[in-house]
Amino acid sequence: MITTSVEDQKKTEMSCTVLPLLVTLSPALFFLLLRDVSVTQGLWEDYKYGRHSSELLHQEHNCSWTCMLFTLQWPGGFCQSLYKETQCKIPQNISSWTIHGLWPLHAQWCCSCWPFFHSDVQELKEELTEYWPSLLKTKSSFHFWKEEWIKHGSCAACVEGFNSPLRYFQICLKLRHQFDIYKLLEDAGITPSCERLYKVAEVQKVLLPHVGDKHEVQCVQDQK
């Protein structure tokens, strides 16, 4: 038995792979889950490795999309999904699910004419740092937020409720508070553990009454 500090214990818990990497959620009537998993996976790969869809860079800014995907990630799972785990960092204050993104589906890089500044989210900085941090050593949190606005938020901006960086990130934070995945699972007895394994079906059973059936769980497998 190795005794660790509270901080070390949190890091150990976050590195365990007994919980899913991603949970995509969709509030009824507004957010619909994309059924084509390959597209969801493509967005995920873009974020992890900085790949860009060049064919979408000059796409006209319009509302060609019909739904949005809100995605949460388990930090330990994200780190293990990288080609090199050494690229990853989990801030000391992070001990729960973090926002991965809010993506209008089939639409990216809609408008390069809307810059993003620190002042745009200054009033949200504390919340964003807690609930939407960058987990890459090579990317600051502000750089991460800026990329998400330019790549996805600019496409969402054709809807009035999303038509500024502040409004876009406010809604993302509101959704994160609405879907407290950690508490939902904890209340059902599913907690981070390096000894106890959980089946995906157990996680889905807990989430179903709270998020409906339009959600998807993506997992990372380790060497075992």
* Alpha carbon distance 212, 33 (integer Å): 11
In the chain, the percentage of residues whose pLDDT exceeds 70 is 71
Per-residue pLDDT for 30 more than 70?
A: no
When computed from its CA atoms, the radius of gyration of the chain, rounded to whole angstroms, is: 17
CB atoms within 10 A of CB 171: 18
Q: What's the confidence (pLDDT) of residue 202? A: 93
What are the two backbone dihedrals, phi and then psi, of residue 73, each rounded to the nearest 5 degrees?
-130, 150
Whole-model pTM? 0.74
Give the residue with greater pLDDT, 144 vs 34. 144
What are the two backbone dihedrals, phi and then psi, of residue 104, each rounded to the nearest 5 degrees?
-65, 130
Q: Which two tokens stand for residue 33?
A: 């889950």
Q: Write out the DSSP string of 156-173.
A: HTTSGGGSSHHHHHHHHH
